[in-house]
Amino acid sequence: MTRTGRAFWFNPPHGGEIRTAALAAPGPGQVLVRTLFSGVSRGTEALVFRGGVPGNQYDIMRAPFQEGEFPGPVKYGYLNVGVVEEGEADLVGRTVFCLYPHQTRYVVPSAAVTAVPDAVPPGRAILAGTVETAVNALWDAAPLVGDRIAVVGAGMVGASVAGVLSGFPGARVQLVDSDPSRRAIAEAFGISFAAPEDAAGDCDLVVHASATGAGLARSLELLGMEGEVIELSWYGDRQVSVPLGEFFHSRRLAVRSSQVGSVSPARRARRTVGDRRALALELLANPAFDVLITGESSFDELPGVLPRLADGSLPALCHRIAYGA
Query: Helices 302-311 and 42-49, interaxial angle, to 10°?
Result: 100
- Residue 43: the pLDDT is 80
Cis peptide before 54 (omega within 30 of 0): no
pLDDT of residue 60: 85
Q: Which CATH superfamily is domain 3-127+284-322 in?
A: Medium-chain alcohol dehydrogenases, catalytic domain (3.90.180.10)
* pLDDT for the residue numbered 1: 57
What is the reported pLDDT for 13? 81
Hey, where are the domains in the chain? Answer: 3-127+284-322, 130-257
**Model pLDDT, residue 237:** 66
% of the chain with per-residue pLDDT over 90: 84
Average pLDDT rounded to a whole number, residues 229-246: 84
Confidence of residue 75 (pLDDT cuts 50, 70, 90): very high
Q: How far apart are CA 87 and CA 135, in angstroms?
A: 30
Whether the predicted pLDDT of 80 surpasses 80 = yes
Sign of the dihedral through C-alpha 117, 119, 123, 127? negative
Identity of the amino acid at 311: D
Q: Cα(10)–Cα(18) distance, rounded to whole angstroms?
A: 9
The overall pTM is greater than 0.85: yes
The mean pLDDT value for 280-285 works out to 98
Q: Let me know if the fold of 3-127+284-322 is the same as that of 130-257.
A: no
Q: Are 102 and 74 in contact (CB under 8 A)?
A: no
Cα–Cα distance measured from residue 66 to residue 74, given in angstroms and rounded to the nearest whole number: 7
Burial class of 271 by CB neighbour count within 10 A (0 to 12, 13 to 18, 19+): middle
Which range among 29-33, 70-74, 201-205, 240-244 shows the weakest confidence by mean pLDDT? 240-244
- pLDDT attached to residue 325: 67
Provide the pLDDT confidence category of residue 248 given band limits of 50, 70 and 90.
Answer: very high
Rg (CA), the chain: 20
Which pLDDT band holds residue 236 (cuts at 50, 70, 90)?
low
For the segment 278-289, the average pLDDT, to the nearest whole number, is: 98
* pLDDT tens figures, 119-153: 999 999 999 999 999 999 999 999 999 999 999 99
- Is the pLDDT score of 2 beyond 70? no
- Position 243 scores a pLDDT of 85
Q: Could you tell me which residue, 2 or 107, shows the higher pLDDT?
A: 107
What topology does CATH give the domain 130-257? Rossmann fold (3.40.50)
For residue 15, name the pLDDT band (cuts at 50, 70, 90): confident
State the Cα–Cα distance between residues 102 and 66, nearest whole angstrom: 10
Q: In the chain, which residue ranges form alpha helices assigned H by DSSP?
A: 42-49, 58-61, 122-125, 128-141, 156-165, 183-189, 213-221, 273-283, 302-311
**CA 228/CA 241 separation, integer angstroms:** 18
Q: How many other C-beta atoms are found inside a 10 Å radius of the C-beta of residue 223?
A: 25
Give the whole-angstrom CA distance, residue 31 versus residue 29: 7
The per-residue pLDDT of the chain, averaged, comes to 94
